[in-house]
């Protein structure tokens, strides 16, 4: 008797080669055939060719977009397992139209706020340059900045923004915030002063962005806002690249209109090899690692395995509605 053909599972964008070690996949043994991909494909035609045989695709956050045009070319696809609570790069309407279930996993939010502070400290205290100097057999190369008494401006005061505000306050910083729906009462509850948008960019020594990418937030920080910043101020973005007008930011950084930027997110990811943000000496750039922590990955892959097992058994799973 011929062996049954098992459903094929594609695990995408496992850059660190850890997907199979972060969870117990034995619950799926003999039930599916799992293939893990460690590279990233940017061209839709290449993505379609790779994923054509698969019944289940496991997407790591927004690394590989699953657009309507791509989903249309994947007739075997029945389930998308996305990590985290939301994934803006999956066309949910197209998936629903084609009868493809989309499920999500749990998530822990502290990683992004912790990275924001690692970036702020690295930027203000010139840590990469100083560390590289020691590695090269040299010594001090710059004079670091200070946080105490300075103003931290938060664009967004949700869960992550509030966490970042608390650390700023612990450093003795003044904290101000703005977002389209932020109220004075909510800001005051976090010990933060609500200000108008332009005032935030004018007053802040560090502007840190903590918004969800949406039609309202796309391009929210443009040439006007960057132009209001002090020449000694820094911009920090650990949320999503398109919230900031990248061309306007690059122009300001090149002309030293602001002191610098710490960026974990970009318009195009991975960041193109010859992109100016890779070489500007007043930029601290990291490769979208805000959520890349052991605890977060443990949750992502554990829940992914549970979702696949539940789907195979016809049991309820964490399905994205709508």
- C-alpha pair distances (Å), 271 with each of 113, 164, 251, 264: 22, 26, 17, 10
The residue among 319, 251, 237 whose CA lies nearest residue 284 is 237
Which of 130, 269, 275, 302 is an active site residue? 269
Report the distance separating Cα 82 and Cα 154, nearest Å.
29
Residue keyed to tokens 């379609």: 48
Report the distance separating Cα 180 and Cα 196, nearest Å.
10
Q: Is 163 a catalytic residue?
A: no
Write the CB contacts of 133 (distance below 8 Å, at least 6 apart in sequence): 139, 140, 141
Which H helix or E strand runs over 142?
none
Which H helix or E strand runs over 319?
none
Q: Is 254 a catalytic residue?
A: no
Q: Is 269 a catalytic residue?
A: yes
Report the distance separating Cα 247 and Cα 253, nearest Å.
10
Which of 61, 163, 210, 240 is an active site residue? 240
Report the distance separating Cα 11 and Cα 153, nearest Å.
38
Q: Are 222 and 194 in contact (CB under 8 A)?
A: no
Tokens, residue 230: 């002090």
For 260, list phi and psi in degrees, rounded to 5: 170, 180
Report the distance separating Cα 261 and Cα 57, nearest Å.
35
Q: Are 260 and 236 in contact (CB under 8 A)?
A: no
Which of 63, 203, 288, 306 is an active site residue? 288
* Strand duo 174-178 + 151-155: pairing: parallel
Write the CB contacts of 104 (distance below 8 Å, at least 6 apart in sequence): 82, 83, 84, 85, 86, 87, 303, 318, 319, 320
Catalytic residues: 240, 269, 288
């Amino acid at each position: 008797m011929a062996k049954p053909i098992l459903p094929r599972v594609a695990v995408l964008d496992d850059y660190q080669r850890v997907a199979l070690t972060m969870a117990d996949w034995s619950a799926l043994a003999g039930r599916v055939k799992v293939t893990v991909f460690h590279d990233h494909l940017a061209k839709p035609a290449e993505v379609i060719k790779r994923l054509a045989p698969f019944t289940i695709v496991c997407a790591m956050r927004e690394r590989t977009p699953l657009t309507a045009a791509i989903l249309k070319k994947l007739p075997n696809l029945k389930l998308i397992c996305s990590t985290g609570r939301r994934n803006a790069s999956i066309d949910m309407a197209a998936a629903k139209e084609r009868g493809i279930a989309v499920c999500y996993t749990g998530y822990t939010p502290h990683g992004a706020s912790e990275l924001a502070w690692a970036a702020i400290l690295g930027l203000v205290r010139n840590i990469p340059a100083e560390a590289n100097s020691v590695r090269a057999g040299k010594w001090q190369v710059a004079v670091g900045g200070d946080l105490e008494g300075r103003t931290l401006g938060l664009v967004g005061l949700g869960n992550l923004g509030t966490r970042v505000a608390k650390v700023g306050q612990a450093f003795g910083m003044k904290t101000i915030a703005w977002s389209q729906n932020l109220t004075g009462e909510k800001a005051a509850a976090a010990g933060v002063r609500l200000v108008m948008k332009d005032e935030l960019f004018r007053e802040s020594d560090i502007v840190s962005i903590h918004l969800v990418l949406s039609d309202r937030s796309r391009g929210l920080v443009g040439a006007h806002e960057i132009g209001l910043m002090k020449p000694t101020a820094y911009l920090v973005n650990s949320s999503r690249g398109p919230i900031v007008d990248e061309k306007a930011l690059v122009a300001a950084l090149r002309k030293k209109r602001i002191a610098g930027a710490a960026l974990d997110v970009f318009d195009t990811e991975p960041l193109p090899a010859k992109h100016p943000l890779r070489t500007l000496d007043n930029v601290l750039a990291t490769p979208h690692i805000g959520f890349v922590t052991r605890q977060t990955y443990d949750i992502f892959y554990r829940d992914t395995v549970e979702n696949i097992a539940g789907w195979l058994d016809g049991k309820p799973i964490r399905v994205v509605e709508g």
